[in-house]
Amino acid sequence: MFDQKMPRRTVLKGALAGLAAIPVIGLATRADAAPAMLDPNTDAQAKSLGYVVDTAKVDDKTNPMHKPDQKCANCAQYQGKAADATAPCTIFAGKLVAGAGWCKVWVKKPA
């Protein structure tokens, strides 16, 4: 078929270029999988749990158990640090919640 031989250097350069491309492809697919922000207006679970982006805007008549110092950032379900503006939540899988937000599932984070 082919009687022409490829030099070993050409083969090695091609192999190294292919190996170098693997991490770049991995980063591109990871960026696509970044979680989206939870939208309290369109997400059915967020609506049912009374999620709001700002704890100061919680209707206390509808949620009498709500306290002003309760927010996602100091909830046990919040997966970020208390200073993070947004982080994943175990209740809303695959979504980010606002650190200043609140929902009916709020539980004090253990000390």
- Going by the DSSP 8-state scheme, the letter that residue 86 receives in this structure is E
Average model confidence (pLDDT) across the chain:
86
Model confidence at 111: pLDDT above 70: yes
Q: Which residue has the higher pLDDT, 13 or 26?
A: 13
* Cα distance between residue 39 and residue 41, in whole Å: 5
pTM for this model (two decimals)? 0.69
Confidence category of residue 23, pLDDT binned at 50, 70, 90:
confident
Domain ranges of the chain: 8-98
CATH 4.10.490.10 fits 8-98, yes or no: yes
pLDDT exceeds 60 at position 28: no
